[in-house]
Structure 1
Amino acid sequence: MERLSPGDTAPEFTLTDDRGEQVALSDLLGRKVIVYFYPAALTPGCTKQACDFSDSLESLRAAGYEVLGISPDKPEKLAKFREKEGLTITLLSDPDKRVMQQYAAFGEKKLYGKTVEGVIRSTVVVDEDGKVFLAQYNVKATGHVAKLRKDLALNNAEEEPHNGA
């Protein structure tokens, strides 16, 4: 699958969240949506990234953005992730990696110098009309939210530090 570019129509999806509810991208039309893909809940890098998004959620929502975090984890593991880390963002399960493939967030990547197949840490910002506004691939877990806020020209006011449960 080719990587998405600004102006592309964002692939529609419906996935199950950590509470067992169905969430569809089309349900969020009219809002800007940050869709980010991460390899695995409850791992250090993914935890840092999810906590950063949760810490920024209030200010992102004030700027008109919703945040969806997508991983191949089952909803039960996502629920543990939310509870353990006190996350406030929406966590979605893509166990067959179908949505990740549609967004080019799954495929060959370098891991410790080896080429492997896996989740490519990626972020796609979808505008109010369902079009790709920004697509970033191979992003770093640490510092990504701050960089994304800068790329979206959002005020980078200090966020409240995250204190997981």
Structure 2
Amino acid sequence: MSERLTPGDTAPAFTLPDADGEPVSLSGYAGRKVIVYFYPAALTPGCTKQACDFTDNIELLAKAGYAVVGVSPDKPEKLAKFRQRENLDITLVSDPDKGVMTEYGAFGEKKLYGKTVTGVIRSTVVVDEQGTVERALYNVKATGHVAKLIRDLDI
């Protein structure tokens, strides 16, 4: 089981390909707050709802100084299809070997329909302007999570 991050930890650095195959690095957001969220699979109902919720609130989040990066094990081509089909306006990056997910504590054992399985743990990590973890939320619900996050961040 991977270690979960806690507030005050340094967010693990990463560089992953986005939906267009272009590299996206956490360091590229230095000086800005970024919401890094981890989801199991593009084009599935829960993950679609969550991505659309982030897109619907992207202006509000941006005005408050937050960028949003969604991380899944999907290949860039699938992320591009997901972005186009759902008109997503957030950055989606691919972590097929789940290395970044593991570093962030977003991959490991979880309960699914009463069974213990290994997989992506739906998680959200809020990183401040200096690259420090401000919040680390694990086992979040796809529906209603963005609204709760906005409330919790006082946006």
Provide the rounded CA distance (Å) in 2 between the counterparts of 1:8 and 1:77: 32
Instruction: State the partner residue of 2:135.
Output: 134
Instruction: State the partner residue of 1:15.
Output: 16
SS at match of 2:59: helix
Matching of residue 116 in structure 1 with residue 117 in structure 2: yes
Unpaired runs of 5+ residues, structure 1, are 155-165
Instruction: State the partner residue of 1:101.
Output: 102
After superposition, the C-alpha distances for 1:6-46 in whole angstroms (9 at most, x for unaligned) are 00000000000001110000010000000000000000000
Letter in 2 for 1:68: V
Letter in 2 for 1:126: V
Instruction: State the partner residue of 1:46.
Output: 47
SS at match of 2:57: helix
Provide the rounded CA distance (Å) in 2 between the counterparts of 1:151 and 1:35: 16
Once superposed, which parts of structure 1, at least 4 consecutive aligned residues long, lie more than 6 Å away? none
Identity %: 75
Provide the rounded CA distance (Å) in 1 between the counterparts of 2:89 and 2:38: 16
Letter in 1 for 2:76: P
Instruction: State the partner residue of 2:26.
Output: 25
Letter in 1 for 2:36: V
Provide the rounded CA distance (Å) in 2 between the counterparts of 1:88 and 1:71: 16
TM-score computed with the length of structure 1 as normaliser: 0.93
Letter in 2 for 1:29: A
Provide the rounded CA distance (Å) in 2 between the counterparts of 1:8 and 1:152: 18
Instruction: State the partner residue of 2:74.
Output: 73
TM-score computed with the length of structure 2 as normaliser: 0.99
How much does 1:2 deviate? 1.4
Q: What's the RMSD between the two structures over aligned residues?
A: 0.4
Letter in 2 for 1:81: F
Provide the rounded CA distance (Å) in 2 between the counterparts of 1:144 and 1:7: 22
Instruction: State the partner residue of 1:158.
Output: none
Matching of residue 146 in structure 1 with residue 147 in structure 2: yes
Provide the rounded CA distance (Å) in 1 between the counterparts of 2:3 and 2:117: 18
